[in-house]
Structure formats: structure tokens, C-alpha cells
């Protein structure tokens, strides 16, 4: 038996992921409960209400943060603080020499919260598995993840500033004030890639779940490059 519940996150191009799931395996009497990403803050609050109400427990066996874009990770703090999270799967840029990466601070804060409550923290690299191998992390490899961290550093380097049309029309002071207000809204960090495949997205942890003769893949925002070239490729069997 398995159940996967998807929660709507954002609107249009700013949609993201917040997923709750539970499934059973022969070796365990209680269902395994998991969360894959937690959307924005409101989605985290929704997950905190949903799991006890519909799953009948506040225990979450594992929580996976695929990557630290705001529409995937902002609600994770609520999940970790209010539910009994046993294992957090999250990449930690700080441990790879990238403490200044914008994903490092939330990763370390979530790590402290989970460890303080007695849970364990694991970085989700290729081959990491859980609960009698009912799920396995199909990607990324640690080497590929480090490559994406390096690429993110290159992408966010500042270039010489050219006044925008808005600055020329409204004045720099007015535009900067507006930008300060807009910066408080939870949006994804832009990488200037219209197609959506950027280093941050391609660092996504990919979870492969095998249950009840089904094979479910949760790729986060990973692009085709990561899925085909830098992860453990598992043949998918389709059943009617």
C-alpha cells in the first residue's frame, strides 16, 4: 500500500514541490512516512496539519530536501520543528567548501534542529538507501554535486552595473526601495536560464521509490543532464 499527496505550491512559473507520502513494506508493521520538499512557509504549515490528520501520526521517518530554492525549502523548518522527524536528507554546501552558498545557511539550521531532537542527518548522494532498500537516492553523485556548487559560484558573480530602464525613468533610489520590498517575498534565486535547467536545479537529489510493484521517481527540479548522465539509472517497469 502506498499513498502520495502533492500540495500546490505558488502559481505559474513559481510553482514548486511539497509532497507527503506513506507506504508499507513487509518487514515493518507501521507505514513509513516521508516528506519530499515542503514548498513555501504556508505549505510547511499545511504538511504539519495533513500528516497527523490523515496519516494518524506525527512521526516522519524521513524528510528529503531536494535543493534549497525557496519554493522547495521555506516550509521545511515548520515540518522539522513541529513533527517528529527521524532522518533529514539534505545537501550541506558548507561541508564541501561552499559555506557562502545561499543554500548553506538553511541546510545548517535544519541540521541543528533535527540533531537537537535526536534525529540523524544524511547527505543524499547516489546509492544512499533506506528501509530495506525500499528507496534509493539515484543522484546526484558527490562529484557532480560539487560541480554544481562551483557552477553556482560562477553564475552569481556580480558584473558591472548598467542602469535599467526603470532606474533611468524613476531614479535609482526609488527602484532600490522597491527591490528591497520585493526581496522579502519568497521567490526562487534567479540564474538567468529561461529553460529552467540551472546549476541549483541540477543539484537536486533524486529519490527512487520501489513499492507494490511500482517504481516512483521524485526528481526535484533536476534537468535531463543530471538524470541521464550523473545518477544511478534504474530501469523502470510499468504495470497496468
CA angle 106, 112, 118 (to 5 degrees): 140
Average pLDDT score over the chain: 81
Specify the pTM.
0.78
Task: Tell me the pLDDT tens digit for each residue of 88-123.
Answer: 999 999 999 999 999 999 999 999 999 999 999 999
Q: What is the CA radius of gyration of the chain?
A: 19
Residue 237 pLDDT grade (very low, low, confident, very high; cuts 50, 70, 90): very low
199 or 52, which is more confident: 52
C-alpha 49/C-alpha 57 separation (Å) is 11
Interval 21-42 mean pLDDT: 94
**φ, ψ at 68 (rounded to 5°):** -90, 35
Domain locations along the chain? 2-150+193-229
Residue 40 backbone dihedrals phi, psi, to 5 degrees: -80, 180
Q: How many CA atoms lie within 13 A of 29 on its CB side?
A: 0
Calpha distance 85→100 (Å, rounded): 27
Q: Which three cell numbers stand for residue 230?
A: 550523473
Choosing among 3.40.50.10420, 3.20.20.140, 1.10.760.10, 3.60.15.10, the CATH entry for 2-150+193-229 is: 3.60.15.10
Amino acid at each position: 500500500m502506498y499513498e502520495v499527496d502533492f500540495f500546490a505550491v505558488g502559481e505559474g512559473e513559481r510553482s514548486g514541490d511539497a509532497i507527503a507520502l506513506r507506504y508499507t513494506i513487509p518487514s515493518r508493521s507501521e507505514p513509513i512516512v516521508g516528506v519530499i520538499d515542503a514548498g513555501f512557509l504556508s505549505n510547511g504549515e499545511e504538511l504539519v496539519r495533513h500528516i497527523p490528520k490523515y496519516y494518524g501520526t506525527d512521526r516522519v521517518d524521513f524528510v528529503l530536501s531536494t535543493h534549497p530554492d525557496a519554493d522547495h525549502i521555506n516550509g521545511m523548518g515548520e515540518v522539522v520543528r513541529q513533527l517528529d522527524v527521524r532522518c533529514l536528507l539534505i545537501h550541506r554546501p558548507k561541508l564541501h567548501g561552499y559555506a557562502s552558498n545561499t543554500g548553506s545557511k538553511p541546510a545548517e539550521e535544519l541540521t541543528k534542529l533535527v540533531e537537537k531532537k535526536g534525529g540523524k542527518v544524511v547527505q543524499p548522494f547516489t546509492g544512499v538507501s533506506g528501509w530495506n532498500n525500499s528507496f534509493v537516492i539515484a543522484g546526484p553523485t558527490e562529484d557532480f554535486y560539487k560541480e554544481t556548487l562551483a557552477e553556482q559560484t560562477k553564475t552569481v558573480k556580480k558584473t558591472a552595473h548598467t542602469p535599467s530602464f526603470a532606474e533611468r525613468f524613476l531614479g535609482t533610489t526609488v527602484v532600490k526601495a522597491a527591490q528591497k520590498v520585493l526581496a522579502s517575498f519568497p521567490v526562487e534565486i534567479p540564474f538567468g536560464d529561461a529553460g529552467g535547467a540551472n546549476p541549483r536545479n541540477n543539484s537536486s537529489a533524486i529519490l527512487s521509490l520501489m513499492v507494490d510493484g511500482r517504481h516512483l521517481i521524485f526528481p526535484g527540479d533536476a534537468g535531463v543532464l543530471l538524470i541521464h548522465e550523473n545518477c544511478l539509472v534504474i530501469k523502470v517497469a510499468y504495470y497496468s
